[in-house]
Structure 1
Amino acid sequence: MSFILAFAGSNSSTSINFELVKHTGSLIISEKVEIMNMYDRPFPMYSEDHEREHGYSNSLNEIKRDIQLSKGIIISVNEHNSYPSAYFKNLIDWLSRLDRDFIRDKKVMLMATSNGGRGAIGALEVTDKLLTRFGANIVATFSLSRYKENFKVDEGILNSDLAEQHQSLLNNFLKAIQ
């Protein structure tokens, strides 16, 4: 059975990026969507010593499997000081050690949101380069600025122009995975 895997690059229990991921997943009716909450997936900071002594966790192997079995991936990355969070970078470090081709040829819709006016564009740019390095095919990129003004959990994206842009990019992603 094929599915779209969707998750945020944040392990926060109050992640606004996870809210954006859930909203995006709810708009997809033509495909099965598996939404993964990274809050439930802690990982130690990557180190060669830890890898040598403990190997790879079951959770890491499950994430890799889900990425590779999916027909497409939706990721919304959070931003800390204009870069993706240490949690997300750590996840990519672990996955790339487990299998350098963990995301090769996967079509990705990459998103980010923040409360600021730039909409986590710095994290988007870095993540685009990082995932492309491992063979991901970024087919759509969306930034939602001013989250508190432009998004409500029960309503979705409030700004009609941003909502239309998001839907158009989602449609492009869905066409790309067919």
Structure 2
Amino acid sequence: MTDLTLLGISGSLRREATNRKLMHEAARLFAPARFIVADLNLPLYDGDNEQAEGIPASVQALADQIAAADAVVISTPEYNKGPSGVLKNALDWVSRTKGSPWADKPVAVMSAAGGRAGGERAQATLRGFLVPFQPRLLSGPGVHLADSSNQFDDQGHLISDQYAATLQRLMDKLRIEAQR
């Protein structure tokens, strides 16, 4: 099935972030599919601003992308033993939109970090953040890319056959869930 839409969410805003590279590598392995990259450049959540101005257009656009996607892949960095504030802020904002864009949505979570655990704690915390939204969160296989700045070639592909094989298994499972 080639008419699937995969939404990629990177918890890092940096253009050359390893989580962005991992997200793109996941999309390549998930293919064929229409791939959309979410923009998490959102204002900080503030209930007073929400009450005065409503949901920002950029937040509604993200919620609409989540709702329209057949599957979502999220790649989180690990900042101080947890996911990035950018990613948490996006989740908080989307939770304020009408409807339940995450409900029953197939979601794969992965992480890339400089440390030897590859963002495992951030990923576990992110999974907890997602539970209230009731997505179909894949339990694995776990992709925790350690020493992430040294794991990609010049084309942005994983250089480790082991990491690539694990990511391929995760994307195969996500495709199966998206086709249900």
SS of the counterpart of 2:30?
coil
Counterpart for residue 32 of structure 2: 30
Percent identical across equivalent pairs?
Answer: 23
Q: In the alignment, is the contact (CA less than 8 A) between 1:11 and 1:42 conserved in 2?
A: yes
Change (3 A) 1:97 1:153: farther
Correspondences of 1:1-178 after superposition (within 5 Å):
2-36=4-38, 38=39, 41-99=40-98, 101-139=100-138, 140=140, 141-154=142-155, 156-178=157-179
| Relative contact order higher in (CA < 8 Å, ≥ 6 apart) | 2
Q: In the alignment, is the contact (CA less than 8 A) between 2:19 and 2:77 conserved in 1?
A: yes
1:13 is displaced (CA, Å) by: 3.0
Q: TM-score, normalised by structure 2?
A: 0.89
1:27 is displaced (CA, Å) by: 2.2
CA distance in 2, matches of 1:31, 1:125: 27
What is the RMSD of the two structures over their aligned residues, measured on CA atoms? 1.7
Aligned amino acid, residue 10 of structure 1: S
Structure 2: gaps spanning 5 or more residues: none
The structure with the greater share of residues assigned to strand is: 1
Q: In the alignment, is the contact (CA less than 8 A) between 1:19 and 1:153 conserved in 2?
A: no
Pairs aligned (count)? 175
Q: TM-score, normalised by structure 1?
A: 0.90
